[in-house]
Amino acid sequence: MIEYFETMPQEEQQQLTEIIQLLFRQTFILERKYDRRMSRFQNNREFRVCNKHLEFIREYFAISGISVYENSQMGVIYIQGENLLGDKLPKLATLYILILKIIYEEQMAAASTSVNVYTTLGEINERLGSYRLLKNKPSVTEIRKAIALLKRYQIIDPLDVLEELDGQTRMIIYPCINVVLLGDDVRALIGAFAEDEGDTEGEGEEEDDEPEI
Parent domain of 69? 2-80
How long is the chain? Answer: 213
Domains contained in the chain, number: 2
**How far is CA 33 from each of CA 89, 116, 155, rounded to the nearest angstrom?**
23, 10, 11
Q: Which of 80, 113, 140 is the C-terminal boundary of a domain?
A: 80
Under a CB-based contact definition with an 8 Å cutoff, are residues 92 and 193 in contact?
no
> What's the confidence (pLDDT) of residue 89?
82
Under a CB-based contact definition with an 8 Å cutoff, are residues 91 and 205 in contact?
no
Block mean pLDDT (10 aa), the chain, length 213: 91 96 94 92 96 96 94 94 74 92 90 85 92 86 94 93 87 93 66 64 46 63
> What's the confidence (pLDDT) of residue 204?
44
Q: Which of 80, 112, 143 is the C-terminal boundary of a domain?
A: 80
Q: Is there a domain that residue 85 lies in? A: no
Q: Is there a domain that residue 145 lies in? A: yes
CATH number reported for the structural domain that contains residue 168 in this entry: 1.10.10
76, 107: one domain: no
100: amino acid identity, one letter:
L
